[in-house]
């Protein structure tokens, strides 16, 4: 099949909003005069416990691992045209003012001569989530960053000749933190619960930006190389991220970013209000959208990095499309 193909793989995956984010960014780039000539032949979700299942789809597309997509309660393939139409409609909306950043984020710029400068219509782009992030270890994959060193790969690109990989969870968290006024570059302290692929990516990026990392537990804990501060009674956390979902309660007075996201309730405005507030928890949609943007910026379309939407734009559009999907599902 001729045309760029996109998929997100992992387990469970039927709830994933990544296909919506993909269509939103693609629609925006096309509205900017980018990608007008690039055909996208398929967007898929792949229920997979092993990376070979995802790579098999990349080489020979099939329906074997494609479940019913929960946001619409039907197969994603049948919604492809509808989703792109919804995306084209909402990208005219301005970012909700409540989402504007407290601190301007510093975007990662990767200069790698090995990354193809142009995207072609025979490419495959893939996002990986649990339990697949640590399963890419072969040097068949050319890393554009530290992804293979820390065994945390959440983004792949096949350009028709070879594979490239990246880790973007960490840069996404740094970006989200800046939206809420927490600056790793000023030495902000991040407490990390867990030591899996996402946790390693987050700790690595946070330290690179100048922040302090404290391991606060979990079934798997961070390796010593990704910790640069000790947990003491005196430590004050600027942010905590629970990558395992095993923290029993949020520490008093501390903001927690939860990578997991649940269905939203209420009107579009009520949802915007909920996502913009920092009470105890920052919704996982922020991290999802931020790391997805970073995939486009650093791996998939670095040559279009200046044309990408802002995080606040992307989250605004996501809220609206997600709401519309729910309305259509009920009708």
The answer to whether residue 9 scores a pLDDT higher than 80 is yes
Percentage of the chain surpassing pLDDT 90? 73
The answer to whether residue 113 scores a pLDDT higher than 60 is no
Average pLDDT score over residue span 238-260 = 85
Q: What local confidence, expressed as pLDDT, does residue 72 receive?
A: 86
SS3 of the chain: CCCEEEEEEECCCCCCCHHHHHHHHHHHHHHCCCCCCCCEEEEEEEECCCHHHHHHHHHCCCCCCCCEECCCCEEHHHHHHHHHHHHHHHCCCCCCHHHCCCCCCCCCCCCCCCCCCCCCCCCEEEEECCCCCCCCCCCCEEECCCCCCCCCCCEEEECCCCEEEECCHHHHHHHHHHHCCCCHHHCCEEEEECCCHHHHHHHHHHHHCCCEEEECCCCCCCCHHHCCCCCCCCCCCCEEEECCCCCCCCCCCCCEECCCCCCCCCCHHHHHHHHHCCCCEECHHHHHHHHHHHHHHHHHCHHHHHHCCCHHHHHHHHHHHHHHHHHHHHC
Do the domains at 4-168+287-330 and 171-283 have one common CATH topology?
A: yes
Higher pLDDT, 247 or 54: 54
For residues 288 and 284, give the distance between their C-alpha atoms in angstroms, rounded to a whole number: 6
The answer to whether residue 233 scores a pLDDT higher than 80 is no
Q: What local confidence, expressed as pLDDT, does residue 331 receive?
A: 67
Average pLDDT score over residue span 155-171 = 94
Residue of 178, 148, 179, 150 whose CA lies nearest to 163:
148
pLDDT in tens, 266-325: 999 999 999 998 777 899 999 999 999 999 999 999 989 999 999 999 999 999 999 999
- Across the chain, mean pLDDT equals 91
pLDDT in tens, 87-105: 999 999 999 999 999 988 7
Residue of 80, 2, 77, 78 whose CA lies nearest to 38:
2
Beta carbons within 8 Å of 129's beta carbon, 6+ residues apart: 8, 9, 10, 13, 16, 154
Q: What is the CATH number of domain 171-283?
A: 3.40.50
Strand order in the sheet with 239-242: 212-215, 189-193, 239-242, 256-257, 281-282
**Which of 59-73, 179-193, 249-263 is predicted most confidently?**
179-193
Q: What local confidence, expressed as pLDDT, does residue 112 receive?
A: 61
The answer to whether residue 1 scores a pLDDT higher than 50 is no
**Model-wide pTM > 0.85:** yes
**Residue 15 CB burial class (10 angstroms; 0-12, 13-18, ≥19):** middle
Query: How do the domains of the chain map onto residue ranges?
Result: 4-168+287-330, 171-283
Q: What local confidence, expressed as pLDDT, does residue 3 receive?
A: 82
Q: What local confidence, expressed as pLDDT, does residue 314 receive?
A: 98
CATH of 4-168+287-330, one of 1.20.140.10, 3.40.50.10860, 1.10.940.10, 3.30.960.10: 3.40.50.10860
Q: What local confidence, expressed as pLDDT, does residue 225 receive?
A: 96
pLDDT band at 19 (very low <50, low <70, confident <90, very high): very high
Percentage of the chain surpassing pLDDT 70? 93
Average pLDDT score over residue span 147-159 = 96
The answer to whether residue 330 scores a pLDDT higher than 80 is no
pLDDT in tens, 213-223: 999 989 999 99
Q: What local confidence, expressed as pLDDT, does residue 119 receive?
A: 66
Q: What local confidence, expressed as pLDDT, does residue 41 receive?
A: 87
**Token pair of 117 as six digits:** 């400068």
The answer to whether residue 61 scores a pLDDT higher than 70 is yes
């Amino acid at each position: 099949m001729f045309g760029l193909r996109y998929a997100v793989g992992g387990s469970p995956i039927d709830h994933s909003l990544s296909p919506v984010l993909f269509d939103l960014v693609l629609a925006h780039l096309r509205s900017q005069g980018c990608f007008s000539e690039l055909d996208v032949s398929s967007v898929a979700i792949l229920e997979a416990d092993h990376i070979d299942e995802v790579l098999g789809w990349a080489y020979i597309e099939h329906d074997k691992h494609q479940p019913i997509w929960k946001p619409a309660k039907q197969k994603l393939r049948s919604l492809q045209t509808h989703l792109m139409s919804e995306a084209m409609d909402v990208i005219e909306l301005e970012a909700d003012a409540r989402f504007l950043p407290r601190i301007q984020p510093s975007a990662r710029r990767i200069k790698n001569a090995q990354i193809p400068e142009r995207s072609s219509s025979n490419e495959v782009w893939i996002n990986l989530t649990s339990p697949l992030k640590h399963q890419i270890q072969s040097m068949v994959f050319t890393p554009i960053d530290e992804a293979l060193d820390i065994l945390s790969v959440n983004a792949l690109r096949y350009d028709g000749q070879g594979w490239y990989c990246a880790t973007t969870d960490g840069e996404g968290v740094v970006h989200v933190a800046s939206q809420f006024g927490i600056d790793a570059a000023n030495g902000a302290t991040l407490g990390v619960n867990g030591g899996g692929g996402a946790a390693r990516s987050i700790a690595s990026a946070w330290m690179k930006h100048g922040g302090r990392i404290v391991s606060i537990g979990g079934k798997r804990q961070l390796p010593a190389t990704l910790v640069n501060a000790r947990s003491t009674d005196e430590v004050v956390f600027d942010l905590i991220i629970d990558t395992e979902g095993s923290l029993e309660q949020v520490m008093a007075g501390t903001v927690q970013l939860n990578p997991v996201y649940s269905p939203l309730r209420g009107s579009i405005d009520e949802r915007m209000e909920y996502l913009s507030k920092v009470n105890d928890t920052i919704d996982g949609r922020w991290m999802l959208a931020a790391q997805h943007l970073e995939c486009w910026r650093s791996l998939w379309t670095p040559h279009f990095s200046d044309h990408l939407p802002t995080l606040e734009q992307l989250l605004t559009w996501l809220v609206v499309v997600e709401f519309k999907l729910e309305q259509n599902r009920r009708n």
